Amino acid sequence: MKKLNQKLALAGVAVLMSLGSGNLVAQDQGRPGRGNFDPEQMRQRMMEGYKERLEVKSDDEWKVIQGRIEKVVEARREVGLGGPMGGMAFGRGGRRGGDGPDQQSGGNGQGGRRAFGGGTPSPEAEALQKAVESKASADELKAKLAQYREARKEKQAKLEKAQDELRKLLSVRQEASAVLLGLLQ
């Protein structure tokens, strides 16, 4: 199940990157600095890509479907930040130099704890990471691990509910496309 979630998360990232890459290249040419990333613009492009791939023609229908897609994307992000993808956020070797800025995180003072995509890991993941780093007792680690797993189950249940709500609105063809896009399992 974890491998499936990891593959779906990676597929989702690949889809997101492919949906906006052509427009981003065209917009960046001739512009000095290229550091003008706008998350809202990226979200809008992503939604336009979903609308096109799901072949939604009616604006009224899209308004309803878009709201459900946004819930799925948000729930997926929450699951990813506290889960396997969150592990990537800690960087190789964890923090360097105690509580000072982490060289791997660009000196942002986050100690290498910035998650993939710029978010932060869940409080349970943070607590578990701190317990591991401080070489906490086995009992404390077990308690933190149980809290982390429970929080992860709740987030996974929220994702599954959001996916079910989206699935109810889609035709079979749209559902198949949504599976290929990584929105549904």
User: Which amino acid, 53?
Assistant: R
Residue 38, pLDDT score: 85
CB proximity list for 112: less than 8 A, separation 6 or greater: 89, 90, 91, 94, 95, 96, 102, 104, 105
Contact between 134 and 51 under an 8 Å Cβ cutoff? The reply is no
Residue type at 130 in one-letter notation? K
The pLDDT assigned to 98 comes to 41
Identify the sign of the CA torsion 123, 124, 129, 134: positive
Per-residue confidence (pLDDT) for residue 11, from 0 to 100: 61
pLDDT of residue 10: 60
SS3 3: helix
Please report the pLDDT score of residue 4 as a whole number.
59
- In order, the DSSP letters of 41-102 are HHHHHHHHHHHHHTT---HHHHHHHHHHHHHHHHHHHHHHHHSHHHHHHT-TT--SSTTS--
Q: Per-residue pLDDT tens, the chain, 185 aa: give them.
A: 666 566 656 666 555 555 555 544 444 444 455 567 888 899 899 999 999 999 999 999 999 999 999 999 999 988 885 544 444 444 434 443 344 433 333 333 334 333 344 456 788 989 999 999 999 999 999 999 999 999 999 999 999 999 999 999 999 999 999 999 989 98
Q: What is the pLDDT of residue 19?
A: 54
**What's the pLDDT at 121?**
76
End-to-end CA distance of the chain: 11
Residue 40 to residue 48: CA distance in whole angstroms: 12
SS3 assignment, position 25:
helix
Q: What is the pLDDT of residue 134?
A: 94
User: Is-above-0.85 flag for pTM?
Assistant: no
Torsions phi, psi for 85 (to 5 deg): -70, -30
Residues 183, 136: Cα–Cα separation, whole Å: 38
DSSP string covering 139-169, please? HHHHHHHHHHHHHHHHHHHHHHHHHHHHHHH
